Chain A
């Protein structure tokens, strides 16, 4: 199993540009999570999906951020327009579910380091 795959691994862009981060979860996993990690704010949950449906997006910082999961094997996180304060490491994680729909162990991807100049 290849694990959770994220691309790109590093992204450097200028303020105002659109940024798209991509994630391929582990095959068969029902849950997909997007996290942002910074020194100041730690690991923040942005949004998560269950069976491709967004369940909780309360962590999405503002309208500039959007995430979609068009199918079970792909999700993307877009920032438009990007700002310097969006600089962070963005992790994608996937998980299976228990029989009663509880979240199981999360497997994290390697992360995308985003720098907005």
Chain B
């Protein structure tokens, strides 16, 4: 089954923060986050492997709650370059991978 992402879309002003959530009905081994800009391929952001693990890249970070089978992506002090569609990809303990439907993020000046 496909993981569920929320919200479906969010509009921010530059400098504002956002949180994107991803939840799965399956026990997860890892969660991957990707960003896709219009007309381009998805690009890897980060991967989380352990329950409770948090990783960050510049002002984008993520957490993984293994027990709740959830992950959240945090975008702090958003920049125009953050605009795009964010996908979570979940890898279950059986090894299969599925992507969420995506969250469209728009950052306005």
List residues of chain A with CB under 8 Å of any chain B CB. Answer: 33, 35, 42-45, 48, 55-56, 91, 101-111
Contact = CB atoms under 8 A, between A and B. Distances in A.
A106 B89 contact: yes
Nearest to B40: A110
B95 A42 contact: no
Interface in B35-93: 40-44, 47, 87, 89, 91
A108 B41 contact: yes
Q: By DSSP majority rule, is chain A's interface helix, strand, loop, or mixed?
A: strand
Contacts, number: 46
Contacts of A102: 29-30, 91, 95
B41 A42 contact: no
19 contacts: A35-B99, A42-B99, A42-B101, A42-B102, A43-B87, A44-B99, A45-B99, A91-B42, A101-B95, A102-B95, A103-B91, A103-B97, A104-B47, A106-B32, A106-B34, A109-B41, A110-B40, A110-B41, A111-B41
Interface residues of B, number: 20
The listed residue with most A CB atoms (<10 A of its CB), out of B41, B42, B98, B101, is B41
Q: By DSSP majority rule, is chain B's interface helix, strand, loop, or mixed?
A: strand
B98 A45 contact: yes
A45 B97 contact: yes
Interface of B: 29-30, 32, 34, 40-44, 47, 87, 89, 91, 95-99, 101-102
A43 B99 contact: yes
A90 B98 CA distance: 16
A29 to B, nearest CB: 13
A106 B44 CA distance: 7
Contacts of A56: 96
Contacts of B43: 108
A91 B97 CA distance: 15
Contacts of A107: 44
A105 B47 contact: yes
Nearest to A92: B41
